């Protein structure tokens, strides 16, 4: 059996950066919190708790002197102000790519553009972006939302949730182009998402069994599962190695592994190690990273 691991499986740069920051701050002392769970992965949140980084979900729980880490998704502008007004120390771990979107929507809304965000309105990143243009953006999650756009509007500036599906983005943009006299299009889909989706697409066509590892709450991991399932019927979605039923993998010649941007390397490695247990029954198992040449 051969195990093929997608090269970019697991943490993206923004998530890694946020977790590193949280761990560094925790080393300096107590009273460290993330504002909401740092990522959609229970194991990572629990691991941080064991190192002294707890979670505060509600701004009303924040007290003077708390060190509050803003996660990679970012938050609305008014929440920075409120956190500061409560006397907390803000440690900003917003991903720089998300920060860039905040800057764009703030500038362009002030310049008179109507901001359109293509993304999921319930996602914290989208709520955060909307909070940098006075929460006046039109949010489009699918083509059915396009009639929210006031056809009398002349100037619109369109940005995207960083993890939005690229194909869906292009089809929405094509519809919007016909409705606006002046349209500023800023494609803010993150390369990390695109890479993981492309690798999953390729890998799932080559293997007998595909394993997608990540939090059940993670939208980018769910998306990888959907992509994989469309090519490989034997796609399994697991959160940890413990959930893996080896009988579903046994007998496969090639097993592919991919993981969402919020899955730590050690969980991926645990899955690989668990599959290697099949070796005990004399089935030779080797693993390697694939798709290196696509960089
Ligand atoms: Fe940042 Fe892209 Fe990750 S926007 S948080 S590097 S998916």
pLDDT of residue 239: 94
Residue where a domain terminates, one of 124, 156, 189: 189
CA of 100 to the centre of ligand 1 (A): 12
Residues 61 and 127 in one domain: no
Residues 107 and 175 in one domain: yes
CA of 104 to the centre of ligand 1 (A): 17
CATH number, domain with residue 39 = 3.40.50.11270
290 lines ligand 1 (CB under 6 A): no
Residues 58 and 25 in one domain: yes
Residues 24 and 107 in one domain: no
pLDDT of residue 1: 87
> Block means of pLDDT (10 residues each) for the chain, length 295 residues?
92 92 90 91 89 94 95 95 96 96 98 95 96 96 84 86 89 90 94 89 96 88 94 96 94 93 91 84 58 36
Residues 234 and 201 in one domain: yes
CA of 157 to the centre of ligand 1 (A): 21
Number of domains in the chain: 3
pLDDT of residue 291: 46
pLDDT of residue 294: 31
Residues 209 and 258 in one domain: yes
For ligand 1, atom 5: residue with the closest CA: 14
* Cβ atoms 33, 53 nearer than 8 A: yes
Atom of ligand 1 nearest to the CA of 95: 1
Residues 212 and 281 in one domain: yes
Query: Do the annotations mark residue 262 as ligand-binding?
Result: yes
Closest residue by Cα to residue 222 from 230, 234, 214: 214
CA dist 233 and 211 (Å) reads 11
Query: Do the annotations mark residue 219 as ligand-binding?
Result: yes
Catalytically annotated residue among 2, 28, 81, 125? 125
pLDDT of residue 243: 96
CA dist 185 to 105, 172, 244, 266, Å? Answer: 12, 11, 43, 39
Residue where a domain terminates, one of 158, 174, 189: 189
Residues 88 and 55 in one domain: yes
pLDDT of residue 288: 60
Residues 78 and 19 in one domain: yes
Residues 111 and 143 in one domain: yes
CATH number, domain with residue 161 = 3.40.1010.20
Residue where a domain terminates, one of 157, 189, 221: 189
For ligand 1, atom 6: residue with the closest CA: 14
pLDDT of residue 19: 93
pLDDT of residue 290: 58
* Cβ atoms 255, 236 nearer than 8 A: no
Residues 171 and 83 in one domain: no
125 is catalytic: yes
For ligand 1, atom 1: residue with the closest CA: 14
Burial class (CB within 10 angstroms; exposed 0-12, middle 13-18, buried 19+) of 275: buried
Residues 180 and 125 in one domain: yes
Strands 209-213 and 182-185: unpaired
Atom of ligand 1 nearest to the CA of 163: 7
Strands 53-56 and 32-35: parallel
pLDDT of residue 293: 34
Domain that holds residue 103: 97-189
């Amino acid at each position: 059996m051969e195990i093929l691991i997608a090269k970019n499986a697991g943490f993206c740069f923004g998530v890694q950066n946020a977790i590193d920051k949280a761990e560094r701050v925790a080393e300096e002392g107590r009273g460290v919190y993330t504002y909401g769970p740092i990522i959609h992965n229970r194991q990572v949140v629990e691991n941080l708790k064991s190192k002294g980084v707890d979670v505060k979900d509600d701004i009303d729980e924040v007290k003077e002197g708390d060190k509050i880490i803003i996660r990679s998704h970012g938050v609305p502008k008014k929440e920075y102000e409120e956190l500061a007004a409560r006397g907390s120390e803000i440690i900003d771990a917003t991903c720089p790519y998300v920060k860039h979107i905040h800057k764009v929507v703030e500038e362009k809304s002030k310049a008179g553009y109507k901001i359109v965000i293509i993304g999921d309105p319930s996602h914290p990143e989208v709520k955060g972006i909307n909070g940098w243009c006075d929460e006046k953006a039109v949010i489009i999650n699918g083509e059915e939302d396009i009639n929210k756009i006031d056809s009398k509007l002349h100037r619109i500036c369109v940005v995207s949730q960083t993890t939005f599906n690229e194909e869906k983005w292009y089809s929405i943009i094509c519809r919007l182009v016909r409705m606006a006299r002046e349209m500023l299009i800023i494609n803010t889909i993150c390369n990390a998402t695109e890479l993981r989706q492309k690798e999953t697409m390729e890998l799932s066509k080559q293997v007998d069994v595909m394993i997608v590892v990540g939090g059940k709450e993670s939208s980018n991991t769910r998306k990888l599962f959907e992509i994989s399932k469309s090519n490989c019927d034997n796609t399994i979605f697991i959160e940890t190695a413990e959930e893996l039923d080896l009988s579903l993998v046994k007998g496969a010649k090639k097993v592919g592994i991919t993981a969402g941007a919020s899955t730590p390397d050690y969980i991926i490695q645990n899955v690989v190690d668990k599959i290697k247990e099949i070796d005990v029954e004399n089935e030779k198992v080797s693993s390697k990273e694939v798709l290196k040449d696509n960089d």
